[in-house]
Amino acid sequence: MNAPKRYQIFISSTYSDLIETRKKISEHILSMNHIPAGMEMFSANGKEQWNTIQKSINNSDYYILIIGERYGTISETDGISFTEKEYRYARKIGLPTLCFIPDENYQTTRANRESDPEKIKKLSSLIEEIKGEQLCSLWSSEDDLIHKVSAALYKIFTDEPRTGWIRGDSGDPEVLTKLVNTMEENSQLKKQIQQLEESNKTKLPIISLHINNIDLSDHDLVLKILEPDDLPELKLETVKPNFDKNDIPEDLTPYINDEDITFYNERNPSVQKVDEYNSEMKYFEQVHSISTLLQISNSGEIKANNLSVKITFPDAVEILDAKSIEDIKKPSIYFPTSPIDLAIKRKEDEGKEKNIRGFASHNLFGLSPRSDIQYAHSSHSMIPFLSRSLVNEDCFYISDENSKVIIGRVKGVRQDCISTISHNFKLIPLKKGDFKFTISILCDEFSKWNTREFTLTII
C-alpha cells in the first residue's frame, strides 16, 4: 500500500508580532501530518542566512504568506523586508503560494503595529502588489486564520499536487511518522522552554520621560519658535528716514537750523541697528514667554530606584538656567527727537519770559530717549506643576561640561506613577527642522544604561 505524501510548507511572516500565530499554524500543519518550515530554524539577517532561506524555500512544496500590521526587518542589500524578499523569491521559482491578509476587523496591540512612516508605505505597497498578482484570503483572528489556512491547503493539495517528501511508490510511512513525532516533540519542548524563560524573566520598571506633556515613548518632541503674533508683549520698531530740509513746512523754517538736522541724522538708528534691536527683543520676549515642564513616569510593575538621567540635545536647542535668563537684559534703542517736533515746541514756547534759549539749547543737546516707547516686563511662571513634585533630593540641572546636556537624579519613581520634576531651566528652540537627541536612563533595576534616540521637531 502506497504511503501518503507529506508536504513541506514554508510559512513566511514578520516574526515578533506574529510569533504565536505562526506557532499555531505550524502545530496545525503538523496535525495534518505535513511539515512546516520557516524562520524559526534560522536567523534571517545576512547573505549566509539568506542562502539558507532560499534552500528551505526550494525544498518546500507550498508557500504560505501571512501579513499582519508590520513590514518587518529590512535587508541591507535590497532595501526591502525579508518577508517581501521571501515572497518574491517563491513567486520567482513558481512555488504555489497562499496569501492571507488582515481584513478591516483585524485588531492587534500598538507594539505590533508599524510606526515607521516609510515602512507603513512599503507594507501598503506590498499588499497592493499581492492583491494584483493572485487571490488572497482575508483574516480577522487566529482561529479564523487557522480555519482558512486549513481549507486553502486541502484545496491546493487537490488542485496543484506536488512531489512531496515521500513518493507513493517507495516511501516508508513509519520513518515519516517518526520524523513527524520528533518534530511535534521538538515543538512542545520549544514551547516549554519559552514558558520557563517567561516565568523566570525579571520584572523591570518601564521609564518614560515627558517634556511639555509629550510622552516621548509614544511621540516626537515638538518645540515652537514663537512668532510676533504669539508674543503679546513684543513691541518692534520700524526704520525712520533721515531728515531733509525740503521736509520743513514754511511756517517752521525759522525754528530749525542745520545743527538740528545734522544732530538728528547722525543719531537716527540705521536699518541694521533697528533689525538687531527687533531680533534681540523677540529673543528676550520668547525666553520669558516659554516654560518647560519636565515629568517622569513608570508604567512597569515595580518601582524604579535611584535613577540617573542624561538628556543630550542638538545645537538647535539652547538650554538656559535661571541665572542665564536673569542675565538676559531687555534691549533698548534710542530715537532722537524729530526736528519738526523740536520746531513745533520752540514755536509754542516762543514769547515765554524765562530761559527760552537755554530751554531750547537743553532740548537740542540734552535729549533723552522717546517717552512714548514703553518696555513692559511681563511676569511668567517658570514651571507649571501638573502633578506632585518629587522630594528635595531629586533635581535636574545643566551639565557643567556640556551646555547641551541635562543631568538628572531621581530617588525613586513608583509603578503606575507620573511625577513632575523640579528644575530651573528652559528649552529655547533656535532653528526650525527635524533633529535627533538622546535620553539615557540608569536605575538599580537595570544592568546597564538604557539609551534611546528620539526625534525633535522645531516648528
**pLDDT tens digits along 261-314:** 999 999 999 999 999 999 999 999 999 988 899 999 999 889 999 999 999 999
98 Cα distance to chain centroid:
36
Residue 84: strand pairing partners: none
**Would you state the pLDDT for residue 171?**
55
CA distance 96 to 36: 15
**Would you state the pLDDT for residue 137?**
93
Cα→Cα distances 115→63, 69, 72, 122, 433, Å? 28, 10, 11, 12, 20
Find out whether 83 and 28 touch, Cβ atoms under 8 Å: no
Span between the terminal Cα atoms of the chain, in Å: 76
- Sketch the domain layout of the chain as residue ranges: 8-200, 204-226+290-322+384-459
Residues 6+ apart with CB under 8 A from 38: 10, 11, 12, 13, 22, 26, 56
C-alpha cell recorded at residue 382? 517658570
With a pLDDT cut of 70, the percent of the chain lying above it is 85
Cα→Cα distances 416→201, 216, 360, 409, Å? 20, 16, 74, 19
DSSP labels, 201-235: PPP---EEEEETTEETTTS-EEE----GGG-TT--
With a pLDDT cut of 90, the percent of the chain lying above it is 53
Class for the domain spanning 204-226+290-322+384-459:
mainly beta
DSSP labels, 255-270: G--HHHHHHHHHHSPP
Cα→Cα distances 436→188, 221, 314, Å? 45, 10, 7
List the CATH code of the domain at 8-200: 3.40.50.10140
Using the predicted structure, report yes or no on whether residue 65 has a pLDDT greater than 60.
Answer: yes
pTM above 0.85, yes or no: no
Q: What is the DSSP letter of 337?
A: P
CA distance 101 to 321: 54
**Would you state the pLDDT for residue 379?**
37
Q: Is the dihedral angle over the CA atoms 84, 90, 92, 95 positive or is it negative?
A: negative
Q: How many CB atoms lie within 10 A of CB 175?
A: 11
Q: What is the DSSP letter of 425?
A: E
CA distance 185 to 24: 15
Q: Which residue has the higher pLDDT, 46 or 78?
A: 78
pLDDT tens for each residue of 390-448: 444 678 889 989 999 999 999 999 988 888 888 888 999 999 999 999 999 999 999 89
Highest mean pLDDT among 77-81, 313-317, 387-391: 313-317
